[in-house]
Structure 1
Amino acid sequence: MIGGVGLGSGYVTPVSTIIKWFPDKRGLATGLAIMGFGFAALLTSTVAHILMGIKSIGLVNTFYILGLVYLVVMLISAQFIKRPQAGDLPAAIKAEKPKSATGVQMKANAALKTPVFYGLWFMFFINITTGIGLVSLASPMAQGMVKMDVASAAALVGVIGLFNGFGRLVWATLSDYIGRPLTYSLIFVVDIVCLAIILLLRQQWLFSIALCLLLSCYGAGFSVIPAYLGDVFGTLELGALHGYTLTAWAIAGMVGPTIITYTSHGGNYNTTLSIFIIIDLLSLLVSFLIRKSIKKLKQA
């Protein structure tokens, strides 16, 4: 519980703040921050493994060492986290409105009463449900469906981790140019196509490419959603609103693995992949329907 509270506050606070500093490049800003979140897991897991392998340190002392390092780094870094004050932003940037912005500044509790919020929550939930399921299945699927050896499957898992990280930056930056609604629709289109390729075409290279693209979409869900929330509801209480939306992440963390448990038997993942395609189709439909609600919100 303590770790979860720390993770939540450490994640939401800088992301919701950085959006205020870069109103013209919300996607790029959040993409950089959340890409760091993704790659930190790769870095820390390596460092922790090395520390635990040293007999004089071991498991418990590894926690103490990492905790002290985090404490120092975060206390120093936190001193730079502040809202932009009058005169901090260049006039040209401050005057430029990002695409798809509604022009409203809504409080978090008011946003919870709109259908737009629940549409965004649902899309984020489905994106994470699919992605977190594929992360856990990557190695066994590679070995079972396209007959990769253990070493190749392990290497693929490392590669998709890179796509997960860089996907957060690339998709979020793309959203600055084509808009958040279109970006989220494209994410689900790519998901559906890649899942179909994995399900129907049992070829190693196609499997690897499709899985990498899927994991880039998984990472994209994290980096695009805060900018999307800022576009629709403004940045007045974006931190709280982002926190409400991240409850979808928590629930997806239970739903995704549960689907896998009940649908993947004996190395047969056809049912699992079919379910993922169906729920992604539903999310794609929501991504189109939500645009009408956003227009109504803008007009109001």
Structure 2
Amino acid sequence: MSVLSPSEHGFFSKERITARPGFNRWMIPPAALAVHLCIGQAYAFSVFNKPMTQLLGITKSAPGDWSLASLGWIFSLAITFLGLSAAFAGKWLEDVGPRKAMFTAACCFGGGFLIGAIGISLHQLWLVYLGYGIIGGIGLGIGYVSPVSTLIKWFPDKRGMATGMAIMGFGGGAFIASPLSVALMNHFHTATSVGVAQTFIFLGVVYFISMNIGAFAIRIPAPGWKPEGWTPPATQNAMITKNHVHIDQALKTPQFWLVWWALCLNVTGGIGVIGQASVMIQESFKGAVTPAAAAGFVGLLSLFNMLGRFFWSSASDYVGRKNTYYIFLALGAVLYFLVPGMGAAGNVALFVLFYVIIISMYGGGFSTVPAYLADLFGTRYVGGIHGRLLTAWAAGGIFGPVLVNYIRQYQVAHGVPASQAYTDTMHIMAVLLIIGFICNFFVRPVASHHHMSSEELAMDIQPAMATK
């Protein structure tokens, strides 16, 4: 008689979280959101920067206080380790299942805040780097990819919409975290404390609890499950495979790298704009846009970043993932080319409109790509493949700000008025998106020799058994 080993039927095992017949699949998106709304706090980390330059001086920076430049590395480390952990933990995630991965993410992200709080209390910046930057960043990466493959398996009929709902949460987490963090710092502020350490402790505990609610609520469908009344389309879309590609084999396909570059180039443009949005609109319309109006522009971009994640990924269920990326890259290139002219003409309304559309497609690129990967590589390892593809995010996060900042700096240093300093940059962005469009054009169905055989798939899916 064969029996499961204790590790295979424990609280975190796939067997334990396999849904019973009649389970409502609409319980899964809220479980994913419970994680993504928490880790989306990363986009709001900048609210801590100024208070953390006044930990000693309280009302203003004092000798010995940390500089903004040194604090900037906290967020950079977090995003770097988000990409690294998503890439390297992907295969482990597929093996152990979403509950253990989401619990691990909760421990890392919540624990990162607590370690960071100790570093702030002791005024040891390296502890904040270690806590929020490294350990918290690992929690970000694991938490980001944990629900993706589960959502895709529960919603084979609405892959884009399902992943869009969760990844929208990552974009929207900052809307909760930013005002909450400011309110908490004001609440904990005293004559001897700016309230950052206490806020870190509060957020660490709350995020740990919330993420674990998602981890404990998550379920995976039983093998062979499909939505009631749904059958795969009789005419199979050539771009949607019925087969599966192993995570290690996916990296050997041209499709992976073509999609990698398409995402990277889409991210490069969007993240470059996000990083300089306030300065860019003020310099493009010198004297016509106040700092307060520029802050409103940044908020509007954040809103469309979030909404675009749901809108575009849902639309991809109807128009197809490849066609959706065509829109991102073609329309984006046109808008980047036209934006400088709107600045020169003094047309603030069209300038803002073009940028909110660009940023909606930036967010849409993130939420559509998991379903794109599932279409190409199957669902078995899509979470891990998605994690490895997110290295494109890390690369775009470097390319975008470097292009925007350094080209502008070079232009201004050579006598170009600040209002015109972004023209060449935006034209370069347009060219990059055209290159991305070409990459997307060459994406074809994955060749059959990359597919897992039925025997390999059966051995891979079946839990290890011990013979008694």
Give the TM bin, normalised by the shorter chain.
over 0.9
Inter-partner Cα distance in structure 1 for 2:149 and 2:227: 20
SS state at 1:104 partner: coil
Higher helix share: 1
Q: Report if the CA contact (8 A) 1:197-1:206 is conserved.
A: no
Inter-partner Cα distance in structure 2 for 1:225 and 1:191: 17
Inter-partner Cα distance in structure 2 for 1:286 and 1:241: 18
The answer to whether structure 1 residue 275 and structure 2 residue 444 are counterparts is no
Greater mean alpha carbon deviation, residues 176-185 or residues 93-102: 93-102
Deviation of the 1:52 alpha carbon = 1.3
What does residue 16 of structure 1 align with? Answer: 149
TM-score normalised to structure 2 length: 0.61
What does residue 184 of structure 1 align with? Answer: 325
What does residue 374 of structure 2 align with? Answer: 230
Unmatched 5+ stretches in structure 1: none
Inter-partner Cα distance in structure 2 for 1:163 and 1:247: 23
Q: Report if the CA contact (8 A) 1:104-1:298 is conserved.
A: no
Which of 356, 369, 373 lines up with 1:212 in the alignment?
356
Deviation of the 1:283 alpha carbon = 0.4
Deviation of the 1:104 alpha carbon = 1.8
Deviations 1:83-130 (A, max 9, x none): 211475334335458853022211111111000000011111111111
Paired residues for 1:139-218 under 5 Å: 139-147=278-286, 148-202=289-343, 203-218=347-362
SS state at 1:24 partner: coil
The answer to whether structure 1 residue 65 and structure 2 residue 202 are counterparts is yes
What does residue 445 of structure 2 align with? Answer: 294
Q: Which amino acid aligns with 1:216?
A: S
What does residue 39 of structure 1 align with? Answer: 172
The answer to whether structure 1 residue 135 and structure 2 residue 286 are counterparts is no
Q: CA 1:104/1:41 → structure 2, altered by over 3 Å: closer, same or farther?
A: same
Matched residue count:
298
Q: CA 1:192/1:298 → structure 2, altered by over 3 Å: closer, same or farther?
A: farther
SS state at 2:229 partner: helix
Deviations 1:104-161 (A, max 9, x none): 2111111110000000111111111111001012111211113422221111111111
Q: CA 1:297/1:262 → structure 2, altered by over 3 Å: closer, same or farther?
A: farther
Larger Rg: 2
What does residue 163 of structure 2 align with? Answer: 30
Inter-partner Cα distance in structure 1 for 2:254 and 2:350: 38
Deviations 1:18-42 (A, max 9, x none): 1110001000001111111100012
Which of 251, 256, 261 lines up with 1:112 in the alignment?
251
The answer to whether structure 1 residue 102 and structure 2 residue 241 are counterparts is yes
Inter-partner Cα distance in structure 1 for 2:401 and 2:224: 48
Deviation of the 1:296 alpha carbon = 4.7
Which of 207, 212, 218 lines up with 1:75 in the alignment?
212
Greater RCO (Cα-Cα under 8 Å, separation 6 or more): 1
Unmatched 5+ stretches in structure 2: 1-133, 413-417, 452-468
Q: Which amino acid aligns with 1:60?
A: A
SS state at 1:90 partner: coil
Q: Which amino acid aligns with 1:169?
A: F
Q: Which amino acid aligns with 1:206?
A: L
Inter-partner Cα distance in structure 1 for 2:184 and 2:429: 38
**RMSD of Structure 2 on Structure 1 (CA):** 2.0
What does residue 252 of structure 1 align with? Answer: 396
Q: Report if the CA contact (8 A) 1:16-1:239 is conserved.
A: yes
Q: Report if the CA contact (8 A) 1:23-1:93 is conserved.
A: no
